Amino acid sequence: MRLFYKCKKLDFSSGGESIVVLREQEAENQGINPGDRVVLKWSKNKTIIATVEVSDNKVDYGEVGLFEEIWKKNQIDSEDIVEIMFYSRPESIKAINKKMLGKKLNYEEIYSIISDISTGKLGTIETTYYVASSFIKPYSLDELYFVTKSMAECGEKLNLKERVVDKHSIGGVPGNRTTMIVVPIIASLGLSIPKTSSRAITSPSGTADTMEVLAPVDLPVAKIKKIIGQIGACIVWGGAVSMAPADDIIIKVSKPLSLEPYDKMIISILAKKVAMGVDFLMIDLPYGPTAKVHSLKTAKQIAKKFVAVGKRFKIKVAVEMIEAKQPVGAGVGPALEARDVLRVLQQHKLRPKDLEKKSIYLAGKLLELKGFCPKGKGQKIAEKQLKSLAAWQKMQEIIKAQGGNPRIKADEVALGALNYEMHAKKAGRVVAIDNKVIEEVCVNLGAPREKLAGIHMHCRVGDQVTKGQKLYTLYAQTDGRLQLGLIAARNKAVVRIGR
């Protein structure tokens, strides 16, 4: 529908933007919202784009008010007739409509959606339709690539000159802090590995929370680039860097329904890797009843897509699928996990062997993926970097560059916490350790906000225990929190002892 209005010169200036004022009811009837952009057309050669404001006292029905920016520059007089193109809807809306009808989208269409989500041009309702539309018809490999690329294009990028390696652990396994060991191993060999990590949402700690025990993690992009230039590595919080901003908005509208399709996970992870400029990527994909991915079969399907989409970006991706039956390492909670990490890096006699072994394994595989060494030789090299304390020296550089204390000792990080030991009520074999219950107890103890809170495990699945033997210790910062954690721990079994 073509609509014509009489112009009214307003004595208002926006300081730059072209603003056209419509009567509220008239705007609403045409489906125009404040902030929408419209085309004003006086003649073939005189058209401008303006932003809509609505008002019921500045203009009458049949009139539009023009800010000075419009009428001065374009020599418009009051009483001039202008046409307003009401129906020029953003391309992105058309694209979402198309996807809602089950059709495939091309790159331009997907880019328009992601770009308009990033800049707020599409609101909550439109973004929700976009998320919902991926359920109408699953993404093709092309579409997965287009979405990932658009996500990366629409945010900040690191633009490093060096070739970059990276590792990424998919969540759901408490204590899985291999990142903080793999990164210094890799960097100590002269490879660039700029690592952004996430904070816990519902779990007791994310890598960023644990690293924060040792050094600040919310650094701006410029600082990250400087650190990478100097020492080749960092371990920072991804949320402080505005990479792939559409991802956060999409996560927000996904929350009310807890929709988390695996495709969304692949896009979310890879978009940030593309923005980081990663060339070689090792993905640690644990599976098991309490992990994000429940079966090996599903893990394999996801792995295949990771590799295929990565290939389109010339990122060499390898996925390690390891079953998760218990925590990795002994500690769960920011400080207790940081202690485990330092114990491994400092080759402390109480270091958790499983965390050390998994880190060496992943670091070795990453070295082989990069072509740093022949296949089968990576783990030996990684192990040597740990044993020689070269990895620890690199970690000290990272801690120092990010603003922490590089002389910290493993046994210093959890000092000052209250603790309470839990003992075996009978003799037998540890048949199961429940990751979900561990998380529940740790959150009730105050983790991750209270850094010292958490659990330290003294046993592992398969161990023989005697009656009264220490099974695990609860840590808390206050007596009240310790009490809440104890209630949670007595409610469901952390450790199950059988024959």
Judged by the rule CB under 8 A, the positions of this chain that interact with a copy of itself are 1-6, 25, 29-31, 61-63, 81, 93, 96-97, 100-102, 123-126, 128-129, 132-133, 135-136, 201-202, 253, 255-259, 436, 439-440, 443-444, 446, 449-450, 478, 480-481, 483-484, 487-488, 491-492
- In the complex, the smallest distance separating the C-beta of residue 98 from a copy of itself, rounded to whole angstroms, is 11
CB of 441 to a copy of itself, least distance (A): 10
Euclidean distance between CA atoms 484 and 275, whole angstroms: 42
* Rounded least distance, CB 376 to a copy of itself, Å: 42
Q: Are strands 470-476 and 278-287 parallel, antiparallel or unpaired?
A: unpaired
Closer by beta carbon to a copy of itself, 101 or else 427:
101
Specify the residue, 391 or 455, whose C-beta has the smaller distance to a copy of itself: 455
In the complex, the smallest distance separating the C-beta of residue 332 from a copy of itself, rounded to whole angstroms, is 14
User: At its nearest, how many Å lie between a copy of itself and the CB of residue 7?
Assistant: 11
CB atoms within 10 A of CB 333: 36
Q: How far is the CB of 14 from a copy of itself (least distance, A)?
A: 25
Neighbours of 322 (CB within 10 A): 18
- The smaller minimum CB distance to a copy of itself, of residues 32 and 318, is found at 32
Cβ 424 to a copy of itself, closest distance in Å?
23
- Residue closer to a copy of itself, measured from CB, 114 or 382: 114
Orientation angle between helical segments 107-118 and 245-254, nearest 10 degrees: 80
Q: Which amino acid is at 108?
A: E
3-state secondary structure the chain: CEEEEEEEECCCCCCCCCEEEECHHHHHHCCCCCCCEEEEEEECCEEEEEEEEECCCCCCCCEEEECHHHHCCCCCCCCCEEEEECCCCCHHHHHHHHHHCCCCCCHHHHHHHHHHHHCCCCCHHHHHHHHHHHHHCCCCHHHHHHHHHHHHHCCCCCCCCCCEEEEEECCCCCCCCCHHHHHHHHHCCCCEEEEEECCCCCCCCCHHHHHCCCCCCCCCHHHHHHHHHHHCEEEEEHHHCCCCHHHHHHHHHHHHHCCCCHHHHHHHHHHHHHHHCEEEEEEEEEECCCCCECCHHHHHHHHHHHHHHHHHCCCEEEEEEEECCCCCCCEECHHHHHHHHHHHHCCCCCCCHHHHHHHHHHHHHHHHHHCCCCCCCHHHHHHHHHHCCHHHHHHHHHHHHHCCCCCCCHHHCCCCCEEEEEECCCCEEEEEECHHHHHHHHHHHCCCCCCCCEEEECCCCCCEECCCCEEEEEEECCHHHHHHHHHHHHHCCCEEEEC
* CB closer to a copy of itself, 213 vs 282: 213
Nearest distance from residue 73's CB to a copy of itself, in Å? 24
Measured from the CB of residue 197, what is the shortest distance to a copy of itself in angstroms? 18
Nearer to a copy of itself, 67 or 130 (CB): 130
Q: In terms of CB distance, is 6 or 225 closer to a copy of itself?
A: 6
Minimum distance from residue 210 beta carbon to a copy of itself (Å): 17
* CB 479, min distance to a copy of itself, A: 10
Residue (93 or 432) nearer to a copy of itself, CB: 93
Instruction: Pick the closer one to a copy of itself by CB: 65 or 232.
Output: 65
Radius of gyration of the chain (CA): 28
Q: Which is nearer to a copy of itself, 136 or 461 (CB)?
A: 136
- Residue number, 24 or 153, with CB nearest to a copy of itself: 24
